[in-house]
Amino acid sequence: MEWKITDGLTSYDDAVAFMEARVASIAAGDADECVWLLEHPPLYTAGTSAKIQDLTDPERFPVYESKRGGEYTYHGPGQRVAYVMLDLNKRGRDVRQFVKHLENWVISALAEFNVHGEIRDGRVGVWVRRDDKPLTVTGKPAEDKIAAIGLRLRKWVSFHGISINVEPDLEHFSGIVPCGISEYGVTSLVDLGLPVTIADLDAALRKTFVEVFETTNA
């Protein structure tokens, strides 16, 4: 397993090119699995289920068609992206279980900062309750999304992955309907009042990855 950490901002095209090549090498047995931690410049990506009406400000940032699952999402500075290039041939070939492990990984990493992340049926990603905010328009408790998940598999090797909001400009999310969900908002660790840095989150991700993936033989 290689942990790759890139400082600064990585272009989306460069990231996809790296993942494509690495996934092919992993599938061929020529390279180790890889988790790549990085940040992107401000951009929107459209997953395979994206609806054009959910791109509300198409001229704001570059928009990339992504072959990952999911709808529109935002990436930008202050958001930690973790691209997971893992070989499910060795990890059970169970996509649902793999997604569950990714969700649990995010939840465990957030718990390192005493943030209670939760999963919601019908809503992709990881959410936190916001009891400090008014009820939603339908009278439900307010919840904000703190992490997104979007995957693709090729020959049972995964790529794309997760993104966790540390301190991005949350206003940048207003150019899309994130993941097609308009009733709920987005948040970040810093927005929740936690002085967490990207480096802090990286340490939590590395620690909890072992706990979630290696001890369960994902």
Is 75 annotated for ligand binding? yes
Is 76 annotated for ligand binding? no
Is 101 annotated for ligand binding? no
Do 148 and 96 touch, CB atoms closer than 8 A? no
Rounded Cα distance, 6 and 34, in Å: 13
34 flagged as catalytic: no
Is 83 annotated for ligand binding? no
Is 180 annotated for ligand binding? no
Is 12 annotated for ligand binding? no
Is 148 annotated for ligand binding? yes
Q: Which residue has the tokens 């410049």?
A: 41
Is 73 annotated for ligand binding? yes
Do 176 and 44 touch, CB atoms closer than 8 A? yes
Is 161 annotated for ligand binding? yes
Furthest CA-CA distance within the chain: 53
Rounded Cα distance, 111 and 45, in Å: 28
Cα–Cα distances in Å, from 209 out to 88, 153, 203?
A: 15, 19, 10
What pairing do the DSSP bridges indicate for beta strands 34-39 and 79-85?
A: antiparallel
Is 74 annotated for ligand binding? yes
User: Of 109, 110, 151, 179, which is the active-site residue?
Assistant: 179
Is 68 annotated for ligand binding? yes
The vertex-139 CA angle with 133 and 143, nearest 5°, equals: 40
Q: Which residue has the tokens 């207003």?
A: 174
Active-site positions read 179
Binding residues are 68-75, 148-150, 161-163
Binding residues for substrate are 68-75, 148-150, 161-163
